Structure 1
Amino acid sequence: MKFRSEINFTKAQNQIDYQSQLLILGSCFAKNIGNKLAYFKFQSLHNPFGILFHPVAIEKLISKAVKKESYTEEDIFFLNERWHCFDAHSDLSNPSKEILLHELNIGLENTYEQITKSTHVLITLGTAWVYCNKKTNSVVANCHKVPQKEFTKELLSVAAVQKSIENTIQSIQSVNKDVKFIFTVSPVRHLKDGFVENQRSKSHLISAIHQIMETSHFVPRTSYFESYELMMDELRDYRFYEADMIHPNEQAIDYIWEKFVEVWISPEAHPTMQKVDTIQKGLQHRPFNPESEQHQAFLKSLEKKITYLQKEHSFMEF
């Protein structure tokens, strides 16, 4: 007897292993997956401009990185005692404009470098709703608490989402033709837009991604992972949400991660993941008596495990 509907997954081709180079961009859920990949010490760059919710924000980042453009004082503004950039998340905002500009331009450089060597680009789209700055007539990645009267709000059409995604793919492929794209739609619900509006938004994202996969010349290099569908269909219960009833909780994130591993992580990488997990848990351990012989022996054993693993994978740092 079955008590829930389950999604049937098939293992992906060109799976991720410890030789893979990953670029992870997008919404809150990209952060969740990025944190998991970082925990297991895969080689990755995760959201150098912070969380980016919609496809146009991601397109702008990739375009500027590939064109090797730079940010100047004209691209930032001062509000509420901090400097901000409309192209980046408020995590990058800073009381010092010099530090903000440095972080923005380092982010562009790191993005370009990672693009050129990436084997996989994972993009998680959160919403098709965007805000357009009236003064510049340009779509922003983040409003930074600027009064809403300064913006117009619009829902990107399926065609507009598709075009933006295709622009991103083309920009990346202009410097890396062999990269594999993994698209997913965030299971985080944007209910501030409204219940119906959230569903419209998600449907535009899903339709645009599948339109690309089914009809364009990008088909061989694009895949879709059903994180949104897992949350909506397999985990359709509020016990899998945080207290805000919007974000997936840790249990839900772990479940979706397990499915991602099943589909996208090479079986050859699993033993190394287990070793990394053992080390990570060991590093998080807090002893009752740090000076005890037993704990000192534990630390020496942990150090040996780290040294052994780093001989196999020199890029790993703990």
Structure 2
Amino acid sequence: MQFRTQIPISKSNTPIDYNSKVLSIGSCFAENMASKFDYFKFQNETNPFGIIFNPVSIEKLFNRVCKEEWFEEKDVFFHNERWHSFEVHSDLSNSDRQELLETLNKAISETHKQLKEATHLIITFGTSWIYRILEKDEIVANCHKVPQKQFSKELLSVEIIRESVQNTMSLIQTLNPNINFIFTISPVRHIKDGFVENQLSKSHLFSALHNILKSEIYNLKSEYFPSYEIMMDELRDYRFYNEDMLHPNQIAIDYIWKLFSENYISESSISTMQEVDEIQKSLRHRSFNPESDQHQKFLAKLQQKINRLGEKLPHIKF
């Protein structure tokens, strides 16, 4: 007997392995998945400009990165004793304007290099709702607690999202024609927008994205991972949510990662993942008697495992 519905997932045509270079961009769920890549020691970079939720803001950042358009003084502003940019997350904000500009431009330079070398780009879209700063008539990635009256709130149409995603892909393919795209929709519900409004927002993302993915131009280098569908259908129980009842908890993240790794990571990498997992668990082990001979032998054996793995894959560091 089956007591739950399971989402069918197609195996990737271009699976990720330990030689792959992965760049992850998007919502907070992108960071949940990236933490798994980090744990298993894949070559992975995540959200160099912080968490970004909407497709247009992601496109704007990739436009800067691909063309190496540096941030200038006109692109930052002072509010609540810190300098900010409307194009990036507040995690990058700084009390010193010059330091902020240096941080942003370093992120452009490094991301440009990573994008040229990347084998896979994972983009996680969170919402179709955007805020537009009225003074500049520009869509922002983050409002930085600037008073709400200075913004208008809008829902991106399916057509605008489709064009934005296509523009993003074209920009990136100009820089790196061989890159593989993996798209997903964040399972986190943006209830501050309203329950009905959240569903509408997600539906616009789905419609735009699947319209692109079924096109012959894009489907050879693009795949879709159903993280939203897994959360809503396979894990449709509040025991899989954090206390806010909106974000997936660790059990849910582990389960979604399991399905992702079974379908998007090469079979040849599974044994290495198991080795890494054993080492990670051993490193977290705390001995009752650190000076004992038994513990010293344990540490020596652990170091041998780390050295053997390092010989096979020099980029892996613990």
TM-score normalised by the shorter chain: which range applies?
over 0.9
What does residue 182 of structure 1 align with? Answer: 182
| Residues 1:82 and 1:6: Cα distance change in structure 2 (over 3 Å) | same
Establish whether residue 52 from structure 1 lines up as the match of residue 52 from structure 2: yes
Amino acid at match of 2:254: D
Amino acid at match of 2:277: D
SS of the residue corresponding to residue 268 of structure 2 reads helix
Name the CA distance, whole Å, in 2 between partners of 1:192 and 1:20: 37
Amino acid at match of 1:234: E
Name the CA distance, whole Å, in 2 between partners of 1:279 and 1:91: 31
TM-superposed CA distance for 1:150, in Å, is 0.8
Amino acid at match of 2:29: F
TM-score (norm 1): 0.98
SS of the residue corresponding to residue 24 of structure 1 reads strand
Moved more, 287-296 or 256-265: 287-296
Name the CA distance, whole Å, in 2 between partners of 1:39 and 1:99: 30
Amino acid at match of 2:196: V
TM-superposed CA distance for 1:91, in Å, is 1.1
Amino acid at match of 1:112: H
What does residue 302 of structure 1 align with? Answer: 302
Name the CA distance, whole Å, in 2 between partners of 1:75 and 1:301: 53
TM-superposed CA distance for 1:204, in Å, is 0.5
Name the CA distance, whole Å, in 2 between partners of 1:216 and 1:270: 31
Name the CA distance, whole Å, in 1 between partners of 2:189 and 2:216: 29
Name the CA distance, whole Å, in 2 between partners of 1:107 and 1:281: 32
Establish whether residue 94 from structure 1 lines up as the match of residue 123 from structure 2: no
Alignment of 1:197-212 (within 5 A): 197-212=197-212
SS of the residue corresponding to residue 268 of structure 1 reads helix
Q: In the TM superposition, what whole-angstrom CA distance separates every residue of 1:116-143 from its partner, at most 9, and x where no partner exists?
A: 1111110000001000111111111111
Moved more, 74-83 or 242-251: 74-83
TM-score (norm 2): 0.98
TM-superposed CA distance for 1:287, in Å, is 2.1
Number of residue pairs aligned between Structure 1 and Structure 2: 318
Name the CA distance, whole Å, in 2 between partners of 1:35 and 1:178: 25
TM-superposed CA distance for 1:179, in Å, is 0.8
Name the CA distance, whole Å, in 1 between partners of 2:13 and 2:232: 26
Amino acid at match of 1:75: D
Name the CA distance, whole Å, in 2 between partners of 1:268 and 1:169: 29
Moved more, 87-96 or 254-263: 87-96
Q: 2:9 touches 2:225 (CA, 8 Å); kept in 1?
A: no
| Residues 1:82 and 1:288: Cα distance change in structure 2 (over 3 Å) | farther
Name the CA distance, whole Å, in 1 between partners of 2:49 and 2:58: 9
TM-superposed CA distance for 1:100, in Å, is 1.6
Name the CA distance, whole Å, in 1 between partners of 2:38 and 2:287: 25
TM-superposed CA distance for 1:212, in Å, is 0.2
Q: 1:128 touches 1:205 (CA, 8 Å); kept in 2?
A: yes
Q: In the TM superposition, what whole-angstrom CA distance separates every residue of 1:21-74 from its partner, at most 9, and x where no partner exists?
A: 111000011001111011111111110001111111111111101101111222
TM-superposed CA distance for 1:162, in Å, is 0.6
What does residue 39 of structure 2 align with? Answer: 39
Name the CA distance, whole Å, in 2 between partners of 1:206 and 1:148: 28
Moved more, 260-269 or 2-11: 2-11
Q: 2:84 touches 2:90 (CA, 8 Å); kept in 1?
A: yes
Name the CA distance, whole Å, in 2 between partners of 1:303 and 1:95: 42
TM-superposed CA distance for 1:76, in Å, is 1.2
| Residues 1:290 and 1:95: Cα distance change in structure 2 (over 3 Å) | farther
Establish whether residue 22 from structure 1 lines up as the match of residue 22 from structure 2: yes
Name the CA distance, whole Å, in 1 between partners of 2:2 and 2:170: 44
Q: In the TM superposition, what whole-angstrom CA distance separates every residue of 1:281-315 from its partner, at most 9, and x where no partner exists?
A: 12222222222222222222221111111111111
Moved more, 288-297 or 141-150: 288-297
Name the CA distance, whole Å, in 2 between partners of 1:149 and 1:257: 40
Name the CA distance, whole Å, in 1 between partners of 2:27 and 2:216: 25
Q: 2:76 touches 2:85 (CA, 8 Å); kept in 1?
A: yes
Name the CA distance, whole Å, in 1 between partners of 2:298 and 2:143: 49
What does residue 251 of structure 2 align with? Answer: 251
What does residue 163 of structure 1 align with? Answer: 163
Alignment of 1:64-83 (within 5 A): 64-83=64-83
Amino acid at match of 1:54: N
Moved more, 255-264 or 215-224: 215-224
Alignment of 1:133-282 (within 5 A): 133-215=133-215, 217-282=217-282
TM-superposed CA distance for 1:198, in Å, is 0.3
Moved more, 132-141 or 89-98: 89-98
Name the CA distance, whole Å, in 1 between partners of 2:134 and 2:216: 33
TM-superposed CA distance for 1:216, in Å, is 5.4
Name the CA distance, whole Å, in 2 between partners of 1:55 and 1:65: 15
What does residue 105 of structure 1 align with? Answer: 105
Q: 1:68 touches 1:108 (CA, 8 Å); kept in 2?
A: yes
Using the aligned pairs only, state the percent identity: 54
Amino acid at match of 1:20: S
Q: 1:62 touches 1:111 (CA, 8 Å); kept in 2?
A: no
Which runs of 5 or more structure 2 residues have no equivalent in the other structure? none
Q: 1:57 touches 1:87 (CA, 8 Å); kept in 2?
A: yes
